[in-house]
Structure 1
């Protein structure tokens, strides 16, 4: 797999986290398969994007979202784009805070060692949410999630949103590991779209 393809997969994983957050905020639920793939990426020991996401199906929501944005079909994608940009900026700030990075890494290692809950179990999601709150939640500006108050005020949904924002930070890190840069979003549109369409075939 070439570098451009890996960058596109990693970029789709950022958009997927943002899109799943948006789904939860406006409807209280999100795509199950993509959700599991994104949450699993947090605790994966690999930094190889094609080992973390082994099938295009794992990133269906991410590829669909990225395609809509690149084709400028941006109805309902406004918040997804805002969250994605905010995640990229937040990851940049995190990289300047070695203590927070160590705290995140140590807690994820502990979560990884627990054998009694899957990562998408409500207990694991609550731990990931607490980790996000105690680390990334302390950095300004915080990511403001917009949606229906009935869902945003639900504790489990709020935890789930924070856990997916943590997955988004992991995705940004993976994207940067592949050489991803923000200006690629502007200049590499055609190549990215071609790759996404080839996956659909």
Structure 2
């Protein structure tokens, strides 16, 4: 994939949405259904016809993520430190995954098997969510860099919530792959922050009716 600012923004917005959903789940045990479905569906889209096809070929499905980019990377003072910690953690995990050929091969194999299951179940069905959680554990948690999830203990101890957390982290890593493939790197957050924010604002304007 050629380096592209617009594709970087799509990947980063997808990553931000996955992390935002994770926070909402861990803090309040709540998920916005449409965003949740879009985010999980991105995992199984292994050969998209375009970067935006990863998210249903609809930029409005990334509206929340685009807004988060503006808030988190902009010049305002509303940055969420916990959110930044998740973002850094996911990007670090993706780098480790990219360097581990064995885990990458296994991930591709398991996601290929998942495609067959999706012919019979919705992506948000507990059967699929459980499978996504297992894939995360098998292929990414095994890399050794666990992400500490913060929230309500009585929520996080629930098995169903734990599975959703892992599924959302897998979706976040998938978005991070798209970000990296388009040329995104940690240095962009330092030296191209304003450019990223401007591009996100431009895309955000396209989501306004």
Tell me, what secondary structure is at the counterpart of 2:145?
coil
The separation in 2 between residues aligned to 1:200 and 1:37, in whole angstroms, is 17
Tell me, what secondary structure is at the counterpart of 1:158?
helix
The separation in 2 between residues aligned to 1:169 and 1:200, in whole angstroms, is 23
1:113 to 76, 95, 116: 116
TM-score (norm 1): 0.92
In the TM superposition, residue 72 of structure 1 has moved relative to its aligned partner by 4.8
The separation in 2 between residues aligned to 1:76 and 1:35, in whole angstroms, is 23
Residue in structure 2 matched with residue 70 of structure 1 by the alignment: 73
Superposed CA deviations along residues 4-46 of structure 1, whole A, max 9, x for unmatched, are 1111111111111111111111011122222111111110032
Residue in structure 1 matched with residue 51 of structure 2 by the alignment: 49
The separation in 2 between residues aligned to 1:129 and 1:27, in whole angstroms, is 20
Moved beyond 3 Å, runs of 4+: 72-76
Residue in structure 2 matched with residue 138 of structure 1 by the alignment: 142
The count of aligned residue pairs is 200
The separation in 2 between residues aligned to 1:9 and 1:128, in whole angstroms, is 22
The answer to whether the aligner puts 1:96 opposite 2:89 as a matched pair is: no
Q: CA RMSD in A?
A: 1.7
TM-score (norm 2): 0.89
In the TM superposition, residue 74 of structure 1 has moved relative to its aligned partner by 5.6
What stretches of structure 2 of length at least 5 have no aligned partner? none
Residue in structure 2 matched with residue 14 of structure 1 by the alignment: 15
CA change 1:32–1:73 in 2 (3 A) is: farther
In the TM superposition, residue 167 of structure 1 has moved relative to its aligned partner by 0.7
What stretches of structure 1 of length at least 5 have no aligned partner? none
In the TM superposition, residue 196 of structure 1 has moved relative to its aligned partner by 2.2
CA change 1:74–1:150 in 2 (3 A) is: farther
Tell me, what secondary structure is at the counterpart of 1:45?
coil
CA change 1:95–1:3 in 2 (3 A) is: closer
The separation in 1 between residues aligned to 2:20 and 2:82, in whole angstroms, is 8
The separation in 2 between residues aligned to 1:107 and 1:98, in whole angstroms, is 14
The separation in 2 between residues aligned to 1:4 and 1:68, in whole angstroms, is 18
Superposed CA deviations along residues 169-199 of structure 1, whole A, max 9, x for unmatched, are 1111111111111111122222222222223
